Amino acid sequence: MNGPGPLGAFLQARRAQLRPEDVGLRDLGPRRRVAGLRREELAQLAGVSVSYYTRLEQGLSRGASAEVLDAIAGALLLDTHERAHLDRLADTARHTPRPRRPRPEKLADETRDLLRAVDGVPAIVLGRRTDVLAWNTLGHALLAGHLDLLSPDDPARRPNMSRMLFLDLHCRELYADWERKARAVVGNLRIAVGRHPEDALLAELIGELTMKSPEFVALWADHRVVPCDASSYELHHPVVGTVTVTQQTLSIARSPDQALIVCTTPANSPSEQALTLLRHAAVSWAPHACGAGAAEEPRRQT
């Protein structure tokens, strides 16, 4: 095995983020050469030998028991989501996955019906790699009106929300607190990689963002694991101005790797009024909605 692997990298990153005082230790030793806890300190807290923990971090041991993982998780002060991520990484280390050719994700008819049922609010369906599998007219107008409305229908042209957030100037300017949104997206990608370590297309996405975005590199190295569930964001929309929406992530029962993202606003609020204006504008654009982004080719209407 080359390098520590995902499990070792996660353990190293989280250990580096802890200080002795965070876990009740007095730092009386020589001056620290690296940030965070030493391996021997973490091993002591977890009740395992230093040599065993070192092998685990270096990717040389794959057989950590549930009890050992639980002890290490406690020593690292991991929350529920981070503990689940640790378990997935450890399970993957035990069973090296066989490479498989990824297939384009498909949208089930029931999911398309669900998207149509929430047509009154902005909504999109994301795949496990954050590819846009579908969006309603208002979701497109709110989050990516500069792209082709029909692009999600073609797997080769599907927008990817993670790529757009880091590499598309329109999306970077859309979020008033772009950094908070970026942290949430990266935390969600961490979970996806833990669940699908064999997914070559997901690995390619991470590699592309690593090569093209220094901000992504910094956030990815942090190893935070935070699911995107429900958060409010202030958007600076180029058509209707400032809009504050709550983006809620809803699981899809028959397609567990996909998620329905809906954007809601408080009743009778200025943001609700702004979405009403955007809805009227989007209806007039829809018949003519072809790609306005530099990276998108116009689709001919027949």
Q: DSSP assignment of 137-167, as one string?
A: HHHHHHHHTTS-TTGGGSTTT--BHHHHHHH
Distance in angstroms (rounded) separating the CA atoms of residues 151 and 299: 9
Distance in angstroms (rounded) separating the CA atoms of residues 178 and 234: 10
Query: Of 46, 25, 47, nearest to 36 (Cα)?
Result: 25
What distance lies between CA 18 and its chain's CA centroid?
23
Query: Which fold would CATH assign to domain 109-288?
Result: Beta-Lactamase (3.30.450)
What distance lies between CA 37 and its chain's CA centroid?
27
Kindly report, residue by residue over 252-267, the tens digit of the pLDDT.
Answer: 988 889 999 999 999 9
Angle between helix 200-212 and 178-195 (nearest 10): 150
Kindly indicate the confidence band of residue 248, based on its pLDDT and cuts at 50, 70 and 90.
very high
Given a contact cutoff of 8 angstroms between Cβ atoms, the answer to whether 148 and 142 are in contact is no
Kindly indicate the confidence band of residue 301, based on its pLDDT and cuts at 50, 70 and 90.
very low
Phi, psi of 244, rounded to the nearest 5 degrees: -105, 120
Q: What is the pLDDT of residue 31?
A: 62
Q: Which residues pair with 160 in a beta bridge?
A: 131
Q: What is the pLDDT of residue 271?
A: 96
Q: Is the dihedral of CA 105, 109, 114, 120 positive or negative?
A: positive
Angle in degrees, CA 250, 255, 258, rounded to 5: 50
Q: What is the pLDDT of residue 95?
A: 65
Q: Is the dihedral of CA 19, 23, 27, 31 positive or negative?
A: negative
Given a contact cutoff of 8 angstroms between Cβ atoms, the answer to whether 11 and 72 are in contact is yes
| 3-class secondary-structure state, position 269 | coil
Q: 29 pLDDT exceeds 70?
A: no
CATH class, range 5-94? mainly alpha
Q: What is the mean pLDDT of the segment spanning 176-199?
A: 90
Domain map (residue ranges) of the chain: 5-94, 109-288
Q: 76 pLDDT exceeds 80?
A: yes
Distance in angstroms (rounded) separating the CA atoms of residues 176 and 265: 16
Token pair recorded at residue 140: 């497109």
Q: What is the pTM of this model?
A: 0.67
Which element (helix H / strand E) includes 143? helix 137-144
Picking from 33-37, 42-46, 210-214, which range would have the lowest pLDDT averaged per residue? 33-37
Q: 245 pLDDT exceeds 80?
A: yes
